Copies of this chain bind each other. A is one copy, B any other.
Amino acid sequence: MKASCVMTPTPAPLKDEILRASSALFSERGYHGTSVRDIAERVGLQGGSLYAHIAGKEELLFDIVNRAADQFFAAIKPIVASERDAMQKLRQAIIAHVEVVAGDVEAAAVYTVEWRHLSADQKKAVTARRDEYEKQFRKLISDAIQERYVTATDPAGATLFILSSLNYVFTWYRPRPGGKSPAEVGKMLSDYIFEGLKRRAAVS
């Protein structure tokens, strides 16, 4: 049933559609709860014909996770490289991160939850990318502490606090007419993270 090699290149829109369908199914039913037949059905192909376009289910998981990682890196790259001060950079990175998560909650769910079903080698490659991304994020936080914009005695804890509140967005955010946009959710979280919830005398 499995083609030994892909003979003709798959048109990009079809590949995108296959990955979108796989993201939706993996996030809904779990990686192991989804079959190649399920994916084929979702894109209107026979299971056998789908194998002309993909090497297997695992490759799809790897592609989804890597595309999500690409998006996270691309989102913060211009911010990291910019000349803004550390606090502005950190705020903008938070909003950019949430825009990626909320912009495609299904891919974010796969990136966050289903990635653990990758093969050992693929997992190693993905872990290296996740670590590199977190390192860049931690650097923004350390710079903001260094420049005395941010008060945190524990940068590692602060990083976990920030990324936790951002990453969990995939579980509750769904775009809907009249609702908050991904950027607005990012702005809201950024405000809460920096201002805190406690009312201060000066505020009232």
Contact = CB atoms under 8 A, between A and B. Distances in A.
Tier of interface size on chain A: 35 or more
Nearest to A31: B30
A27 to B, nearest CB: 9
B188 A28 contact: no
A29 interface: yes
- What secondary structure prevails in chain A residues at the interface with B? helix
A163 B172 CA distance: 11
A96 to B, nearest CB: 17
A118 to B, nearest CB: 12
Given A31-B33, A33-B30, A198 B151 contact: yes
B164 A197 contact: no
Given A32-B32, A113-B113, A172-B164, A196 B192 contact: yes
A160 B28 CA distance: 21
A28 to B, nearest CB: 7
Contact of A199 (B29, B149, B157, B192): B149
A197 B198 CA distance: 12
Contacts of A161: 165, 188-189, 192
Contacts of A169: 164
Given A30-B33, A149-B198, A164-B171, 5 more contacts: A28-B116, A33-B117, A113-B113, A150-B198, A164-B169
